[in-house]
Chains A and B, each alone.
Chain A
Amino acid sequence: MEPIASHENWRNCFSEVAPGLLLFARQWVQSAADAEDIVQDAFIKFWRRNHDIDNRGLLYAAVRSLAFDFIRRDARRARREATAVAETEPVIEPHFELEDDTQSALAAAVESLPRDQREVLVLKIWNDLTFSEIAGALGISQNTAASRYRYALTNLKKTLQPQ
């Protein structure tokens, strides 16, 4: 039997999940290139192990784990390079493809959410995970996932409502 990893259908699968995975990875890393490295590693390992895509909670758990590793490594690198980059302006790459000011405001509001709420929101809205899958990926209970999601929406509504 042909190994699944060599099959071209990885491309369909990756096209479908990559944007959401990148957005999820960027909850921890600012640079889009770093997020792509993380997503690439997680996806390849997931695919090589012939995991069913229905078991995709594992894929998100892998992205999260790789991102934490990256943060640890990056912190060390940042300390080493602190003097070199002191004068450089940080480049903030957008997480979304924005069409108008309303979307910009919404994106900014999402990015201002606490991280634990934001990651649940990202998994639910842009990755279509169920609360059960979110709970598995983040290592929390379904109730916690659901309540974080609700808090995230409440906070967004507060932020966006006219003063």
Chain B
Amino acid sequence: MNDFSELEKDLKKLRPAQPSPVLFERVGEALRHGGPTAAGKATSSWWRFKEATHNWWSLGFGLAAAAVLILFAAVTTERRHEHQQTVAQSSPASETRPTPLGTERSTSRSRFVPAGGTNLVYNARDEGLHFANGSERPVRRVHYHTQQTWQWRNPETGASLRVSYPSEEIVLIPVSGQ
């Protein structure tokens, strides 16, 4: 038995205020053009979290990749420079003149040597048993979230360069059963 059926009926007769026609235009416009919503001012933390998670990962990977590229370019340039210098010095046709000590020092001043690396595992998730590639032997799938950091140091100047980036690793561990 429902004591409230009359009351519910009366409540349903109450009609909520209708949205303005402008609202329909705004929604239609935003859906057509994929533009910002409600003047882009009301973004909830819920959506922001969902979108930001992806963006921050992309940004992190992008920055890490850029740093590695710059480092690689610097090392390559330095090696090429050293090679050219050796060729120039050993060429009999060239005017040989001893390289001043200062020049040598300035070349080695820009040399960075690896000084260490860390791989910090901040989350490990056991994703259970799987059968990889149709194999009959199960493997345990473990998903690691890590923060990798690599460091280079210039022994001459003491300057150091550090690159840190998040990474994910999935490890498949064969499981043997009786």
Contact = CB atoms under 8 A, between A and B. Distances in A.
A22 interface: yes
Contacts of A103: 13-14
Query: B interface, by DSSP: helix, strand, loop or mixed?
Result: helix
B15 A62 contact: no
B37 A45 contact: yes
Interface in A83-110: 93-98, 102-103, 106-107, 110
B4 interface: yes
Contact of B8 (A36, A47, A110, A153): A153
Contacts of A93: 17
Nearest to A61: B46
Query: A interface, by DSSP: helix, strand, loop or mixed?
Result: helix
B87 interface: no
A88 to B, nearest CB: 22
B23 interface: yes
B10 interface: yes
Contacts of A43: 27
B42 interface: yes
Nearest to A154: B4
Contact-residue size bin, chain B (C-beta under 8 Å from the other chain): 20 to 34
Contact of B44 (A23, A48, A66): A66
Interface in B1-36: 4, 7-8, 10-20, 23-24, 26-28, 30-32, 34
Contacts of B46: 61-62, 65
B14 to A, nearest CB: 5
B122 interface: no
B23 A18 contact: yes
A69 interface: yes
B47 interface: yes
B26 A40 contact: yes
B23 A6 contact: no
B47 A36 contact: no
B63 interface: no
A69 B43 contact: yes
Contacts of A65: 44-47
Given A97-B15, A97-B16, 20 more contacts: A22-B17, A23-B16, A36-B19, A37-B38, A37-B39, A40-B23, A40-B37, A41-B38, A44-B31, A48-B34, A65-B44, A65-B46, A66-B42, A66-B43, A69-B43, A96-B16, A97-B18, A102-B10, A103-B13, A125-B8
Interface of B: 4, 7-8, 10-20, 23-24, 26-28, 30-32, 34, 37-39, 41-47
8 contacts: A11-B28, A18-B19, A19-B16, A40-B27, A61-B46, A97-B15, A103-B13, A106-B10
